[in-house]
Structures are given as C-alpha cells and as structure tokens.
Amino acid sequence: MKAELAITPWSRFKTKFIGDRQFYKMVLALIIPVIVQNTITNLVNLADNVMVGALGTAHMSGVAIANHLMFVFNLTIFGALSGAGIYGAQFAGAKDWEGFKQTFRMRLLVSLAITGLAALVFTRWPTILLSFYLQGDGNPAERTAMLSYGQQYLKIMLWGLLPFALSQCYNSALRETGETTLPMIASSSAVAVNLIFNYLLIFGKLGFPALGVQGAAAATVLSRCVELLVVALATHKNHLKFPFLVGLYRPYQIDRDLAKNITLKGAPLFFNEFFWSAGMVTITQILSTKGLAVVGALNIASTFTNLFGVFFISIGTAVAIVTGQALGAGKPELAKEQVWKLLFFSVGISCALGATLAISADKITQVYNAEIEVRHLAAAFMLAGAIYMPFQAISNCCYFAIRSGGRTLLTFLFDSVYTWVICVPYTYALVTFTNLGIGAIYPLSQLIHVLKAIMSLVAVRTGFWALNLVKVRSNDCDKAVGDL
C-alpha cells in the first residue's frame, strides 16, 4: 500500500521521460561529436553565405538554388545508405562483424550507382532545373544573373558528388558502431579547408584568383575530397578497432538473402529521402513565386534555422544508434524506454534554442549584405521556424525510432507521402488561392509540422516498430524477420 501511495504523477513522468545520469552520459558521448560536426558545418555554411552574399544578392541566390539540387542528392545518398544502416546498427549491437561488413559493401555499390545517375541528370538538364526557382516577380536582368551564377556553381560542384557519397559510406558505418569522433574529425578538417579556400578563391587573396561563386564551389569540392581522405585513411589504419575492415574487399561478396532484405527495407528509405527532399525543394519553389526576394530570404533563414536545429537533428543519430543496438541485442523494451527519454530531451532543448532564435532573428540578418526587404523577410521566416522547431524535433526522433526497427514503409508514408499529399498541395493553395503576402503564407505553411508530430507520436506509442531484424542469423545470414 505504501509503495502504491508513493507513485505520483511526477514520479511516473520522471520514470518515462527523464533518464538517469548514466543514460545522459551515454547519449552525450554519442551526440556531442555529431553536434560539434554539424555545428561546424553549419557555421561554415553561414560563412559561405556571408562571403558569397558580399558579392551581391544575385550571387547568393544563384548559389542557393544550385544548392537546392545538391540537397536532393545529399538526402538521396542518406536514404540509400539507411537500409544498410538499419542492419548495420543491429549487427553492431549483436557483435556480428561479418554481417556488418556486407552492409558496408552494399553502401558502396548503391552510392556509386546514385552518384552516376545524379551526374547524368545535373549535366543534361541544369538550366531547366535551376529555372524552376526563378519564376517570381523581379528584375529580368537579376533573374538572368541568378541563373548564370547557379550554372557556374553547379558545374564545378559535380566533381564533389563522388567524394561526398563515399565519405558518407564511412561516416554512417562508423556511427553505427558507436564511433562518432572520427567522422567529426574528418568533417572538421573538411570545413576548415572549405572556410579557408572559400576566402582565398572567392575574393582572390594571397595570390589566388578571384573566382567568385566558382571559387566557392571549388573550395567545397576540395573540402569533400579532404573529408574522404581523412575518414578513409584513419579508418583503415584501425583494423583492431573496426573488425569489419578485415577482408572488406577480398572477396567482394554480399549474401543474397541479406542483399534482398536490405533492398526491401532500404527501398522505401531511398525513395523516401528522394521524394521528401524533392518535396521540400518544390515547396521552396512554390514560395519563390511570390518574388525573387523570397529566394534570398529563404536561403538566409534556412542557414540559421539549420544552425539552431543542429541539436535535435543530431539526437536523431543517437536514436538510431541506441535503439538499433538495443533491438539487435534483443532488448525491445529498453529500446522503447530510451526513445521517450530522447524525445523529451530533444524537445526541451529545441524549445530553448527556438526561443533564442526568435529573439535574435532581427539582429543576425544584419551580417548579410542584402537588400532590406530580403533581410526583413528572412527574420520573419526564422521566427516561424523557431516556433515550429519543437514539433520538428518530435518528428525527427520518431522517424529514427521507427526506422531503427525496420518499419521503413511507415517512414515513407510519414515523410514522402505526407509531403506530396498534404504539404505541397496545401502550400500551393496558400500561394495560389489566397491574397495573403509571403509574410503570412510562410508561417501558415509551417503548420504541417504540428500534424506530422502528432501522427509520429501516435505511431511510436504503439511500439510495433521495435523489431529485431538480425536475431535469426546463422553462419552467414538468414532472412530478416518482420513485415514492412
């Protein structure tokens, strides 16, 4: 009786949502390197934007629209590697390094195929793709300049596609083993190179030619080559620490059943990231029809919201690793408990960071050499992003939880189908069938995050996503359990 009386709402809340010191120590050990890596990357992106923006709004907007296309490629690579990543995290939890080795081989093959296809698309139809974002009202000469700068930037960025894809193969594999420091070091080295050579090549310092937007692209390509070299060389020098490297390329074989299962689980993730990212850039294109100033403002706003959102995005990595390894070790109830604690942790920090972004939005846009209209719009967009940041944190954590158990079809429904069936038509209707200005349309368009967060919580609460995909493995690999 005394024990029952001692159970209070607060104690139940604390048990469900707040972990002990050991839990947070483990989580922080995983995410701090990822946070540092992502923060440095976003700070360099900010510096890139400011430096390119110093050349003029047309330069900044041209680079921004080219980066929308790169965004689709980057997330498609992420999605393509995620299928192998689900099995990789669980194989790591089960200490099955032979299975993990084969998931790595799958990553390499898939990333090479996607890179080749992307290079073909970007070289055949660059003008058409870039022009989609230049449909709004504005000066025709400025529109032409934006297109020209976007083409110049994209042409050079093509050389960075393969190094990026290969470095992601290594980074994702290392994180699934619990190694997050090495990817951070590789990424930090890359962004340092990017920052230095951006300054040298954009403005022509220390005897280097002043290449403008072409210099920004060249610096990015160089940084991606550096990241690949650092992470690949450092990984292959540590065979004892990373057992999956032993015999990685000799022979280069993948178990047929495992390849089939990875493909079945990974296909929805691949198409999800492709269609979701395509949906996001489509929404950006729809919003950009309200004027050329919107293109620059969205670029500025996204740079800062991404910087402030680094924490909740990085927690997604912790969710994938922690729950994936718990499931692979045959502890589904532990995985479920950890998800709720990580969710609460992520939302709490997102509220604090969102408030900071909202308060500072007006001031931080002053670092840009852009028209006052562009800066005012960017501040308004950042305020809206700050308000909805906790809802995005919820969706992000739920996505990685559901994905860790192999429920990839559900993640496809929540992301891509939701984006194209709800978000895109809703945004199009706001822009086309109302007389509202972009200052009102943008925050209204972000209401989609609230509904998605609610749906994600309901799905995670059921617990049906917590599947062990590798428990029936024998000598080589048996079929994964669980339906899509």
Residue 208 Ramachandran class (φ > 0 left, ψ -120 to 50 alpha, else beta): beta
The percent of residues above 90 in pLDDT, for the chain, comes to 29
Which position has the higher pLDDT, 448 or 27? 448
Domain assignment present for residue 99? The answer is yes
The model's pTM: 0.73
| Inside any domain, residue 467 | no
What pLDDT is attached to residue 157?
Answer: 93
C-alpha triplet 296, 163, 31: angle, nearest 5°: 75
Higher pLDDT pick, 454 / 254: 454
How many domains are contained in the chain? 1
The residue-averaged pLDDT of 330-349 equals 87
Report if residue 390 sits inside a domain: yes
Strands (E), 154-247: none
pLDDT digits (tens, 9 = 90+) for 241-267: 787 877 777 767 777 888 888 888 778
Q: What tens digit of pLDDT does each residue of 21-61 get?
A: 888 888 888 778 778 777 776 776 677 777 887 888 788 88
Q: How far apart are CA 383 and CA 73, in angstroms?
A: 28
Within a domain: residue 472? Answer: no
Query: Residue 355 has which token pair?
Result: 């408030």
Q: What angle do CA 13, 19, 22 make, to 5 degrees?
A: 160
Taking Cα atoms as reference points, which of 169, 222, 165 lies closest to residue 191? 222
Q: Which pLDDT tens digit goes with each residue over 78-105?
A: 888 877 877 887 788 778 888 888 888 8
Range of the domain at 396: 17-462
Specify whether the CB–CB gap between 218 and 63 falls below 8 A: no
CB-based burial of residue 267 (10 Å sphere; 0-12 exposed, 13-18 middle, 19+ buried)?
Answer: middle
> Rounded to 5 degrees, what angle do the CA atoms 28, 343, 186 make?
40
DSSP per residue, 279-317? HHHHHHHHHHTT-HHHHHHHHHHHHHHHHHTHHHHHHHH
Residue 108 covered by a domain:
yes
Residue 291 has what pLDDT? 83
**Residue 377 to residues 258, 309, 327, 328, 438, Cα–Cα distance (Å):** 50, 19, 45, 47, 8
**Residue 198 within a domain:** yes
Q: Assess if residue 381 is contained within a domain.
A: yes
Q: What is the DSSP string of 53-91?
A: HTT-HHHHHHHHHHHHHHHHHHHHHHHHHHHHHHHHHHH
Instruction: Give the number of C-alpha atoms closer than 13 A to the C-alpha of residue 358, restricted to the C-beta side.
Output: 14
Residue 36 lies in a domain: yes
Torsion of CA 114, 117, 118, 123, to 10 degrees: 160
Contacts of 212 (CB under 8 A, 6+ apart): 55, 59, 149, 152, 202
> Can you tell me the mean pLDDT for 65-81?
85
